[in-house]
Amino acid sequence: MKARLGRCVNRLVTFDDTTVQLGVTSKGRQNAQSQLDSFKLEFAQAVLRAVDMATLRRRSLANLERWRENGSWCSAFAEWQHLMRSGSDEEVVAAMTGSDETANRLRQSALYVGLLPRKSAEHLNAT
């Protein structure tokens, strides 16, 4: 049982032009971040079904190289680069599809964009 800090309130709070209802949960619905996390996991799984590991590594490393040249770089890209260059296939798959915090964090900076045909990506986005 969860302990609460004080009683549950149910009121509307307005900030500028935005109104938020406090104390109400949406049962059975994921919040926006959870929905995005689920989409990114589905996307990674679809990429793994669509391409072989050699293509995944080659194209992902090419994306990283292009992003570095354009000045777009973050610590997650360095982690991905290490995985794609020297990680085992199992480690790459675990990073792409794992349920742990590290895999979820790495999926926020996915380097395997552009590996799905546009129709496949659009189908995922529609679901």
Residue spans of the domains in the chain: they are 31-126
- Chain segment 10-33, per-residue pLDDT in tens: 566 677 777 666 655 556 666 788
With 70 as the cut, is the pLDDT of residue 5 above it?
no
Distance CA 41, CA 47 (A): 10
Its pTM stands at: 0.69
Tokens 């610590």 belong to residue: 75
The average confidence (pLDDT) of the chain is 83
For residue 19, the cross-strand partners are 14
CA dihedral over 29, 32, 38, 39, signed as positive or negative: positive
How far, rounded to the nearest angstrom, does the alpha carbon of residue 94 sit from its chain's CA centroid? 14
